[in-house]
Amino acid sequence: MDIYSFSDLLGFPEIAVTHFQIEKSRIVLTCESKLTEKTCPCCLEKCKTVKQKHQRTIRDLPILGKELYLELVSRQFSCQNCSRTFYESFNFVGSHRSMTTRLEAYLYQCCKDSSFKEVAIRENVLWDVLQNIFDIYSKSTINYLSKKLVKRIGIDEIACHKGRNSYATVITDLDTSEVIDVLDFRTKDELISYFKAKGSVFCEQILVFTSDMFEGFSQTAKQVFPNADIIVDRFHLFAHLNEVLNKERQLLRKTFPEIIAFKQIKWLLFKHWKDLTHPQKQTLLRAFRLSPTLRKLYFIKNELVNIFNENINSEQAQKLIDEWILTAQKLNNNYLNEFTKTIESWKSYIITFFKHRLSNGIVEGINNAIKTLKRVAYGFLNFQHFRNRIMVKFANP
């Protein structure tokens, strides 16, 4: 391969390759500008007088399976008009940067989907260099998301450090599935202060707010979003109801440890009857024959699931749920009675689901992806880095 071939492969029309060296793991190209003059950044006059030269080592995208380095001769010009001196700049590399912009953009994309450690090893780049590139290239995306005007948001918490009672709050745009912010707190007072600081325009435009049954979230929304319909996530509601079935199952296992029919049925109890296979149905029916209470709890749970799956409005839903509560109370099961108290307490926010048909499912999915990100990155010591990685990962291009 000759010099002209390398010049063509580079794709940088403003420089020419004057010499090349191919080594075992890298290629080094000596380059210089094709231009004989530069424009003074102060007076905009053309300058030809070169005061001195120095050599910059710039890394570019790999070529032929080898790392590529440009030994670029950079000239310092002296302006005869305004006596200013300046070094020539190039479109393909930033001032005082040691990598071409296309290599930095490539590494940034790599860091969005992989851990810095993995990218550092694979691309032979220092970790702190990757962090610097990520900070620079992510700034515009994070600024856009932080200032984004949204109408429907979901909010949930995620543990920052397992076992340390350290939680972050993730705020998601339900229309675009973008994470618009990650906060290192979750208390009601801090959340209220945060949303009020975003201004009345932001707060008044929120029309739908979804969350789990954490009272701090719902109370925050009630105080700062005057036009929002608050929805309690139905999946969290059914998680509580599944716990009723699980507690009854645990009681049966403890009372009748020798009965095989009560073993290994936990996850079957959580499934809807229509989603079970024939053998799974037979397994549950064997348990139900021995425990009529477990059978009643299972099928009354299915009745509530059916209500949420029906195409009905809020008024119809409230009537059906009220009837369901009366039926549940007649069973006089301690675990179910606790659940009916919960649903009564949150009923107005639960009924709102039937108006918008929205849940916190998008936010839950994002939280699961965040947990994967934490595992891949082996955790985060710096919360700001953690926040930025999350926001960039879920930003729409």
Residue type for 270, please? F
CA 396 from chain centre, in angstroms, equals 11
Q: From residue 122, give the alpha-carbon distance in Å to each of 25, 111, 176, 262.
A: 14, 11, 32, 51
Q: For residue 380, what pLDDT band results from cuts at 50, 70 and 90? A: low
Residue type for 136, please? I
The sign of the torsion formed by the CA atoms of 103, 107, 108, 109 equals positive
Query: Would the pLDDT of 162 be above 70?
Result: no
Instruction: Assess whether 115 and 93 both reside in one domain.
Output: no
Write the DSSP assignment of 341-381 as a string of letters. HHHHHTHHHHHTHHHH---SHHHHHHHHHHHHHHHHTT--S
Instruction: Assess whether 121 and 164 both reside in one domain.
Output: no
Query: Would the pLDDT of 165 be above 70?
Result: no
Q: Mean of the pLDDT values across residues 169-191?
A: 92
Query: Would the pLDDT of 153 be above 80?
Result: yes
Q: For residue 160, what pLDDT band results from cuts at 50, 70 and 90? A: confident
Instruction: Assess whether 229 and 373 both reside in one domain.
Output: yes
Q: φ and ψ at 151, to 5 degrees?
A: -115, -30
Instruction: Assess whether 229 and 378 both reside in one domain.
Output: yes
Q: From residue 365, give the alpha-carbon distance in Å to each of 3, 88, 172, 359, 376.
A: 52, 49, 11, 11, 17
Q: Mean of the pLDDT values across residues 353-378?
A: 80
Instruction: Assess whether 379 and 266 both reside in one domain.
Output: no
Instruction: Assess whether 304 and 386 both reside in one domain.
Output: no
Query: Would the pLDDT of 2 be above 90?
Result: no
Query: Would the pLDDT of 327 be above 90?
Result: yes
Q: Mean of the pLDDT values across residues 60-83?
A: 88
Starting from the edge strand earliest in sequence, which strands make up the sheet with 208-211, in order? 178-183, 166-173, 152-161, 208-211, 229-232
Give the residue ranges of DSSP H helices in the chain. Answer: 3-10, 101-113, 116-123, 127-146, 188-197, 200-205, 215-224, 234-255, 266-270, 278-290, 292-309, 314-331, 334-345, 347-351, 353-356, 361-376, 383-393
How far apart are alpha carbons 273 and 276 in whole angstroms?
6
3-state secondary structure 285-321: HHHHHHCHHHHHHHHHHHHHHHHHHCCCCHHHHHHHH
Q: For residue 284, what pLDDT band results from cuts at 50, 70 and 90? A: very high
What is the maximal distance between C-alpha atoms in the chain? 100
Identify which has the larger pLDDT, 335 or 40. Answer: 335
Q: From residue 288, give the alpha-carbon distance in Å to each of 292, 347, 391.
A: 6, 30, 47
Confidence (pLDDT) at 181? 93
Q: Mean of the pLDDT values across residues 118-133?
A: 92
Nearest one of 231, 193, 189 to 212, comparing CA atoms: 231
Instruction: Assess whether 284 and 240 both reside in one domain.
Output: yes
% of the chain beyond a pLDDT of 70? 95
How many independent structural domains does the chain possess? 4
% of the chain beyond a pLDDT of 90? 62
Identify which has the larger pLDDT, 115 or 277. Answer: 277
Query: Would the pLDDT of 1 be above 70?
Result: no
Confidence (pLDDT) at 263? 92
The pTM of this model reads 0.81
Confidence (pLDDT) at 351? 95
Confidence (pLDDT) at 294? 96
How far apart are alpha carbons 391 and 387 in whole angstroms?
6
Instruction: Assess whether 15 and 57 both reside in one domain.
Output: yes
Q: Which of 98, 133, 167 delimits the end of a domain? A: 98
pLDDT tens by residue, 307-325: 999 999 999 999 999 999 9
pLDDT tens by residue, 236-272: 899 999 999 999 999 999 999 999 999 999 999 999 9
Q: Mean of the pLDDT values across residues 351-356?
A: 94
Q: Mean of the pLDDT values across residues 141-150?
A: 89
Instruction: Assess whether 240 and 327 both reside in one domain.
Output: yes
How far apart are alpha carbons 244 and 336 in whole angstroms?
6
The sign of the torsion formed by the CA atoms of 371, 377, 379, 383 equals negative
Q: Quote the Cα angle for 95-97-101, to 5°.
A: 95
Region of poorest pLDDT, from 11-25, 151-165, 319-333 = 151-165
Instruction: Assess whether 276 and 340 both reside in one domain.
Output: yes
How far apart are alpha carbons 156 and 190 in whole angstroms?
15
Identify which has the larger pLDDT, 149 or 306. Answer: 306
Number of neighbouring beta carbons within 10 Å of residue 277 = 10
Residue 65, sorted as left (phi over 0), alpha (psi -120 to 50) or beta, turns out to be left
Instruction: Assess whether 255 and 291 both reside in one domain.
Output: yes
Region of poorest pLDDT, from 108-112, 165-169, 293-297, 314-318 = 165-169
Region of poorest pLDDT, from 73-87, 167-181, 232-246 = 73-87
Instruction: Assess whether 343 and 247 both reside in one domain.
Output: yes
Q: Structural domain of residue 320, as residue ranges?
A: 234-356
Q: 183 pairs with which residues across the strands?
A: 169
Q: Mean of the pLDDT values across residues 59-64?
A: 91
Q: For residue 172, what pLDDT band results from cuts at 50, 70 and 90? A: very high
Confidence (pLDDT) at 372? 78
Length of the chain: 397
How far apart are alpha carbons 108 and 347 in whole angstroms?
46
Identify which has the larger pLDDT, 338 or 390. Answer: 338
pLDDT tens by residue, 32-59: 888 887 888 788 888 888 888 888 999 9
